[in-house]
Amino acid sequence: MKTPVPDYLDEIRTLCDAGEDGTLADYIPELAAVDPERFALAACMRDGVVYATGDADVEFTIQSMSKPFVYALALRDRGIDAVLAKVAVEPSGDAFNEISLEDSTGRPDNPMINIGALTTHALVGRPGTGEFDRDLIISAGLSAFAGRPLGFDDEVYRSEIETAFRNRAMANLVRATEIITDDPDEIVRGYTRQCAYRVTVRDLAVMAMTLATGGVNPVTGQRVVTPRVCRQVLSVMATCGMYDAAGDWMSTVGIPAKSGVSGGIFGALPGQLGLAAFSPRLDKHGHSVEGVRTFERLSRDMDLHLMNVDGADVEVVRSAVTDDEGGRRFRLQGPMTFATAELVLRQFEEIPAGPQTVTVDLEHVSTVNHTARRMLIEGMRRLGLDGHEVVLVDPERRLPDPGLSSPAPAGR
């Protein structure tokens, strides 16, 4: 059986194609020259399995999507209290390039706007770390989040550094107030370099999942940062990651997220999955038009809003046994969500083509949300198409009869 998850992603991508809505980031010459028709979507699961559709292998620069990860590195290197002393965590309600500072302290409002990200960049490494060493730390850190060495786009870097006048002004401002003590030009160069690393939507989904798992890369198994750092980063992403659209995003999508002017958006749903979308046309907030539509659709159709309360950290397959006649019986448990149902579908996928009896036992399942219901029914339907007799054990009748066989009693 082939899992239907890639088909779901294909369907979502088709539904969210925005045509020619939005504009390219034409204030950066290299970004103004990209193909506006690119569109990709990826999802990374807790165990590192990545599903992707569309232009998933196309590389683009990470831009402002680097901010949460560099913030995480600063928190790791300096500690949360030391970073908070320099950068606050309050939503500014302003666009990404506004000069938003606290009246009482002079701190940038948060690390997701440019003035806060410039300050955060200066906090990577131990006190006294120079420009070259800081660049090495950030390169290694971003690559550890992605699970592979990331390349660098020198042409995009040069294109951006030549027009970085506003960022230079902001770096000089936080230097003048002694929020940072480094050379402002050095910080602008370093920040612009951190934005010029190349990623794909697959990379972003893995990076997001690394935050969502508490700092362990699901592909490599490497611990990049601590769970406490991840909690801090995800909290700031939830409230500040989408700039002056953060409130609308949190209420409608409900996934901590960050966008970039290259057209990417990534989101990290704690304990469940990492998501990423890429399409270069931007809305008035600087977010990908198709990326926003994609996340809105995923959240709505797959019950991915952070405020949903039907998740739990349990093994979803209580047991999977083969009986004397060669039939397979899957005893499931706990709540069924997108993430847990995907694990079940993956076990279904390992069953060779029939004929044999496959029993799906939901006796110990606590809840089934509508996304998991669709996924399980589709999985059982596909098992039937593979020639299996599918038997559903569902004493609480959480699923409708898939029409492949009659439901069996709980004791069968």
What amino acid positions are annotated as catalytic residues? 64, 67, 191, 243, 261
Any bridge partners for residue 333, and if so which? 364
CA 343 to chain centre: 19
Say which residue the tokens 């239907």 belong to: 4
In whole angstroms, what is the distance from residue 401 CA to residue 394 CA?
9
Say which residue the tokens 């030391």 belong to: 82
Q: 276 in helix, strand or coil? A: strand
List the one residue out of 300, 289, 201 whose CA is nearest residue 255: 300
Say which residue the tokens 């409608």 belong to: 252
Burial of 324 (0-12, 13-18, 19+ CB in 10 A): exposed
Q: Are strands 40-44 and 50-54 parallel, antiparallel or unpaired?
A: antiparallel
Sheet containing strand 389-393, strands side by side: 317-322, 328-336, 357-368, 389-393
- In one-letter notation, the amino acid at residue 200 is T
In whole angstroms, what is the distance from residue 3 CA to residue 45 CA?
14
On whether the CB atoms of residues 223 and 215 are closer than 8 A, the answer is: yes
State both tokens at 32.
């103004």
List the one residue out of 119, 155, 160, 153 whose CA is nearest residue 139: 153
Q: What is the DSSP letter of 306?
A: T
Please report, in angstroms and rounded to a whole number, the separation of the first and last CA atoms in the chain. Answer: 24
Burial of 14 (0-12, 13-18, 19+ CB in 10 A): exposed
State both tokens at 248.
């609308």
CB burial string 398-412: b at 16+ within 10 A, e below = bbeebebbebeeeee
Q: How many CB atoms lie within 10 A of CB 171?
A: 28
Q: How many residues does the chain have?
A: 412
Q: How many CB atoms lie within 10 A of CB 294?
A: 29
